[in-house]
Amino acid sequence: MTDKKWFVLYSKPRWEKKLDNALIQKGIESWCPLNKVEKQWSDRKKIVEEPLFKSYVFVRIREDEKTTVLMTPGAMQFVYYLKKPAVIRDSEIETIKHFLLEEETKIETISTTVFKEETKVRIRKGIFIDAEGTVLRSGKKKVYVLIESLGTVMVVEFKTEHLLKI
Protein backbone atom coordinates (compact mmCIF):
# COMPACT_ATOMS: atom_id res chain seq x y z
CA MET A 1 0.00 0.00 0.00
CA THR A 2 1.28 3.46 -0.90
CA ASP A 3 0.82 6.62 1.10
CA LYS A 4 0.54 8.72 -2.06
CA LYS A 5 -2.72 10.56 -2.70
CA TRP A 6 -4.08 12.63 -5.56
CA PHE A 7 -4.23 16.35 -4.75
CA VAL A 8 -5.48 19.24 -6.86
CA LEU A 9 -3.03 22.06 -7.52
CA TYR A 10 -3.94 25.57 -8.72
CA SER A 11 -1.73 26.73 -11.56
CA LYS A 12 -1.12 30.17 -12.93
CA PRO A 13 -3.69 30.92 -15.65
CA ARG A 14 -2.82 29.09 -18.90
CA TRP A 15 0.13 27.34 -17.25
CA GLU A 16 -1.52 23.93 -16.78
CA LYS A 17 0.50 22.07 -19.45
CA LYS A 18 3.79 23.80 -18.54
CA LEU A 19 3.29 23.00 -14.85
CA ASP A 20 2.42 19.38 -15.64
CA ASN A 21 5.62 19.01 -17.70
CA ALA A 22 7.77 20.71 -15.02
CA LEU A 23 6.39 18.39 -12.32
CA ILE A 24 7.03 15.31 -14.46
CA GLN A 25 10.62 16.56 -15.05
CA LYS A 26 11.02 16.67 -11.23
CA GLY A 27 9.87 13.04 -11.03
CA ILE A 28 6.50 13.90 -9.54
CA GLU A 29 3.44 12.00 -10.77
CA SER A 30 1.34 14.69 -12.36
CA TRP A 31 -1.67 14.73 -14.67
CA CYS A 32 -3.27 17.55 -16.61
CA PRO A 33 -6.39 16.11 -18.29
CA LEU A 34 -6.67 17.42 -21.83
CA ASN A 35 -9.87 17.73 -23.86
CA LYS A 36 -9.86 17.86 -27.66
CA VAL A 37 -11.75 20.97 -28.78
CA GLU A 38 -12.48 22.19 -32.28
CA LYS A 39 -11.45 25.82 -32.74
CA GLN A 40 -12.62 28.00 -35.60
CA TRP A 41 -10.28 30.54 -37.15
CA SER A 42 -11.27 32.84 -40.00
CA ASP A 43 -9.67 30.54 -42.58
CA ARG A 44 -9.77 27.07 -40.99
CA LYS A 45 -10.85 24.76 -38.21
CA LYS A 46 -8.38 22.96 -36.00
CA ILE A 47 -8.58 20.42 -33.18
CA VAL A 48 -6.57 21.59 -30.17
CA GLU A 49 -5.98 20.07 -26.76
CA GLU A 50 -7.08 22.28 -23.89
CA PRO A 51 -6.97 21.55 -20.17
CA LEU A 52 -10.27 20.02 -19.08
CA PHE A 53 -10.10 21.86 -15.75
CA LYS A 54 -8.85 25.43 -16.14
CA SER A 55 -6.01 26.29 -13.71
CA TYR A 56 -5.97 22.77 -12.18
CA VAL A 57 -3.32 20.06 -12.31
CA PHE A 58 -3.57 16.78 -10.40
CA VAL A 59 -0.55 15.48 -8.49
CA ARG A 60 -0.12 12.10 -6.79
CA ILE A 61 2.27 12.71 -3.92
CA ARG A 62 3.10 12.01 -0.31
CA GLU A 63 2.48 14.70 2.31
CA ASP A 64 6.22 15.46 2.53
CA GLU A 65 6.38 16.31 -1.21
CA LYS A 66 4.01 19.28 -1.02
CA THR A 67 6.77 21.88 -0.64
CA THR A 68 8.63 20.52 -3.69
CA VAL A 69 5.43 20.74 -5.72
CA LEU A 70 4.70 24.31 -4.62
CA MET A 71 8.25 25.40 -5.52
CA THR A 72 7.63 24.45 -9.16
CA PRO A 73 7.23 27.42 -11.54
CA GLY A 74 3.53 27.92 -12.30
CA ALA A 75 2.26 26.29 -9.10
CA MET A 76 0.11 28.59 -6.97
CA GLN A 77 -1.37 26.58 -4.10
CA PHE A 78 -3.30 23.41 -3.34
CA VAL A 79 -7.08 23.40 -3.62
CA TYR A 80 -8.65 23.22 -0.18
CA TYR A 81 -11.91 21.60 0.88
CA LEU A 82 -13.13 21.93 4.48
CA LYS A 83 -9.86 23.70 5.40
CA LYS A 84 -7.69 20.76 4.24
CA PRO A 85 -6.00 20.10 0.89
CA ALA A 86 -8.60 18.37 -1.27
CA VAL A 87 -7.85 14.67 -1.87
CA ILE A 88 -9.24 13.00 -4.99
CA ARG A 89 -9.98 9.27 -4.91
CA ASP A 90 -8.06 7.07 -7.36
CA SER A 91 -11.40 5.85 -8.74
CA GLU A 92 -12.41 9.42 -9.66
CA ILE A 93 -9.13 9.97 -11.54
CA GLU A 94 -9.65 6.66 -13.38
CA THR A 95 -13.23 7.65 -14.29
CA ILE A 96 -12.05 10.95 -15.82
CA LYS A 97 -9.30 9.12 -17.74
CA HIS A 98 -11.85 6.60 -19.02
CA PHE A 99 -14.24 9.30 -20.26
CA LEU A 100 -11.44 11.16 -22.01
CA LEU A 101 -10.67 8.00 -24.01
CA GLU A 102 -14.23 7.84 -25.39
CA GLU A 103 -14.18 9.23 -28.93
CA GLU A 104 -17.75 10.50 -29.14
CA THR A 105 -17.88 11.89 -25.62
CA LYS A 106 -17.90 15.66 -25.18
CA ILE A 107 -16.85 16.85 -21.74
CA GLU A 108 -17.58 20.34 -20.48
CA THR A 109 -16.86 21.56 -16.98
CA ILE A 110 -19.06 24.05 -15.18
CA SER A 111 -18.04 25.56 -11.88
CA THR A 112 -20.29 24.77 -8.94
CA THR A 113 -18.60 27.34 -6.73
CA VAL A 114 -21.05 29.77 -5.21
CA PHE A 115 -19.72 32.97 -3.73
CA LYS A 116 -21.80 34.54 -0.99
CA GLU A 117 -22.30 38.30 -0.89
CA GLU A 118 -19.53 40.19 0.95
CA THR A 119 -16.98 37.38 0.28
CA LYS A 120 -13.47 38.68 -0.38
CA VAL A 121 -12.05 37.27 -3.63
CA ARG A 122 -8.92 37.49 -5.80
CA ILE A 123 -9.31 37.56 -9.57
CA ARG A 124 -7.31 34.79 -11.28
CA LYS A 125 -7.69 35.67 -14.95
CA GLY A 126 -7.96 38.62 -17.31
CA ILE A 127 -6.88 42.24 -17.09
CA PHE A 128 -7.77 42.38 -13.39
CA ILE A 129 -5.59 39.37 -12.52
CA ASP A 130 -4.48 39.39 -8.85
CA ALA A 131 -6.83 42.28 -8.01
CA GLU A 132 -8.95 41.80 -4.91
CA GLY A 133 -12.60 42.64 -4.53
CA THR A 134 -15.84 41.94 -2.72
CA VAL A 135 -18.72 39.89 -4.10
CA LEU A 136 -21.86 42.00 -4.58
CA ARG A 137 -24.08 39.42 -6.24
CA SER A 138 -23.55 35.80 -7.28
CA GLY A 139 -25.29 33.59 -9.79
CA LYS A 140 -24.71 30.07 -11.08
CA LYS A 141 -22.16 31.09 -13.72
CA LYS A 142 -21.30 34.74 -13.04
CA VAL A 143 -20.33 36.79 -10.04
CA TYR A 144 -20.42 40.57 -9.69
CA VAL A 145 -17.35 41.83 -7.86
CA LEU A 146 -16.72 45.30 -6.45
CA ILE A 147 -13.12 46.40 -7.17
CA GLU A 148 -11.90 49.56 -5.49
CA SER A 149 -8.88 51.14 -7.15
CA LEU A 150 -7.63 54.55 -8.17
CA GLY A 151 -10.20 56.14 -5.90
CA THR A 152 -13.11 54.87 -8.00
CA VAL A 153 -15.43 51.92 -7.63
CA MET A 154 -15.80 49.45 -10.48
CA VAL A 155 -18.35 46.66 -10.56
CA VAL A 156 -17.09 43.89 -12.84
CA GLU A 157 -18.84 40.68 -13.86
CA PHE A 158 -16.69 37.50 -13.71
CA LYS A 159 -17.14 33.82 -14.38
CA THR A 160 -16.96 31.94 -11.08
CA GLU A 161 -13.92 29.93 -12.17
CA HIS A 162 -11.92 33.16 -12.50
CA LEU A 163 -12.24 33.93 -8.78
CA LEU A 164 -10.46 32.60 -5.73
CA LYS A 165 -11.90 33.05 -2.24
CA ILE A 166 -9.41 34.73 0.12
Q: Cα separation of 38 and 60, whole Å?
A: 30
Q: What is the mean pLDDT of the chain?
A: 82
89-93, 110-114, 144-148: which is most confident: 89-93
Cα 74 to Cα 20, 23, 131, 140, distances in angstroms: 9, 10, 18, 28
What percentage of the chain carries pLDDT values higher than 90?
33
**Region of poorest pLDDT, from 3-17, 24-38, 76-90, 104-118:** 104-118
Segment 141-151 shows an average pLDDT of: 67
What is the domain partition of the chain in residue ranges?
Answer: 5-101, 120-165
Instruction: State which fold the 5-101 domain adopts.
Output: Alpha-Beta Plaits (3.30.70)
Higher-pLDDT residue of 157, 5:
5
Q: Mean of the pLDDT values across residues 24-48?
A: 89
Choose the most confident range, by mean pLDDT, from 49-53, 74-78, 136-140, 151-155: 74-78
User: Distance between CA 26 and CA 62 in Å, rounded?
Assistant: 14
CA distances from 130 to 51, 104, 162, 164 (A): 21, 38, 10, 10
Fold held by 120-165: SH3 type barrels. (2.30.30)
pLDDT grade for 80, boundaries at 50, 70 and 90: confident
Q: Which residue has the higher pLDDT, 10 or 137?
A: 10
71: nearest Cα among 26, 8, 104: 26
Whether 120-165 and 5-101 are alike in CATH topology: the answer is no
This model's pTM is above 0.75 = no
pLDDT in tens, 46-55: 888 889 888 8
Q: What is the pLDDT of residues 12-28, one digit of tens each?
A: 989 999 999 999 999 99
- Quick check: helix, strand or coil at residue 49? strand
